[in-house]
């Protein structure tokens, strides 16, 4: 009886293993994606096999300091990756559908020791962002919650009037931008942070409105400001992106970053 039971367990285990989805790579898979029009952005996902499990993480942009992206892929996730890899094999020689827009779409796919480079193809439901959402969707939702908590904490700290060491529009790339909280009524250009992640630049009797957010990229915090089109009317307002070097209740040290 015991021998029969053991054989049943072994048979069931073998059946379970055989039913598991086999990944379309042996050791590692890395998907790099470059996209954009006037300026280009690069993103990346990486996958590795350890102990018969497939591990995945978002390696660029890397927000692991806020929340680790590493997950163990399900069979459905592996099927999604395999469908992506099948398309990449099809596209490496010829693209059936070419994207005619000016937006760049460039893939570098590293499958174990093999590299496939693909340009301007229509991936339908298996684009980089589709695959990323299907595999890391739950993580991305949790990450947004973490980012919102961080934004709320910093927003409460920022509320008030601030004076900078140079005019905002005169800050060059990689230049330091030091902002200190005002305790007296301002007499010249100053920045006013208000609730709901809004900021107003007061300049020569004129108010310029921005939305802002705090983002975490590759272990660094960034202050990102974009013009509020609804409040600024037809005037185009350039956005600003700053690396946060240090942040306290009364002083912020930033570095202009593109």
User: What is the pLDDT at residue 99?
Assistant: 54
| Residue 161 tokens, joined | 């009037």
pTM over 0.95, yes/no: no
User: What is the pLDDT at residue 214?
Assistant: 94
Dihedral pair phi/psi, residue 39, rounded to 5° = -125, 150
> With 50 as the cut, is the pLDDT of residue 48 above it?
yes
Dihedral pair phi/psi, residue 9, rounded to 5° = -65, -45
Of 71, 67, 43, give the one whose Cα is nearest residue 57.
71
250 three-state secondary structure? coil
Sign of CA dihedral 166, 171, 175, 179: positive
> With 70 as the cut, is the pLDDT of residue 124 above it?
yes
With 0-12 CB in 10 A as exposed, 13-18 as middle and 19+ as buried, what is 173?
exposed
Residue 214 burial (CB count, 10 A):
20
- Rounded distance, CA 37 to CA 33, Å? 14
User: What is the pLDDT at residue 96?
Assistant: 62
pLDDT > 70: percent of the chain: 89
Tens digits of residue pLDDT in 127-155 = 999 999 999 999 999 999 999 999 999 99
Tens digits of residue pLDDT in 171-190 = 988 899 999 999 887 878 99
């Amino acid at each position: 009886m015991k021998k029969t039971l053991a054989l049943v367990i072994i048979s069931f285990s073998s059946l379970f293993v055989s039913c598991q989805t086999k990944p379309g790579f042996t050791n590692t898979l890395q998907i790099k994606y470059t996209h954009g029009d006037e300026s280009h952005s690069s993103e990346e996902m990486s996958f590795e096999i350890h102990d018969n499990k497939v591990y995945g993480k978002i390696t660029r942009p890397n927000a692991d300091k806020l929340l680790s992206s590493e997950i163990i892929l399900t069979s459905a996730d592996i099927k999604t990756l395999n469908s992506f890899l099948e398309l990449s094999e099809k596209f490496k020689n010829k693209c059936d559908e070419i994207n005619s827009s000016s937006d760049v779409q460039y893939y570098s796919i590293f499958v174990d020791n093999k590299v496939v480079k693909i340009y301007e193809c229509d991936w339908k439901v298996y684009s980089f962002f589709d695959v990323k959402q299907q595999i890391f969707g739950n993580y991305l939702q949790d990450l947004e919650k973490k980012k919102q908590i961080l934004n709320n904490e910093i927003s409460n700290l920022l509320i008030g009037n601030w004076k900078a060491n140079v005019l905002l529009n005169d800050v060059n790339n990689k230049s330091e931008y030091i902002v200190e909280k005002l305790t007296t009524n301002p007499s010249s250009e100053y920045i006013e942070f208000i609730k709901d992640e809004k900021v107003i630049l007061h300049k020569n009797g004129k108010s310029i409105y921005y939305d802002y957010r705090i983002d975490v990229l590759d272990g660094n915090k960034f202050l990102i400001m974009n013009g509020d089109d609804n409040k600024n009317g037809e005037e185009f307002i350039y956005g600003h992106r700053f690396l946060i070097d240090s942040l306290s209740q009364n002083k912020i040290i930033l570095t202009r970053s593109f």
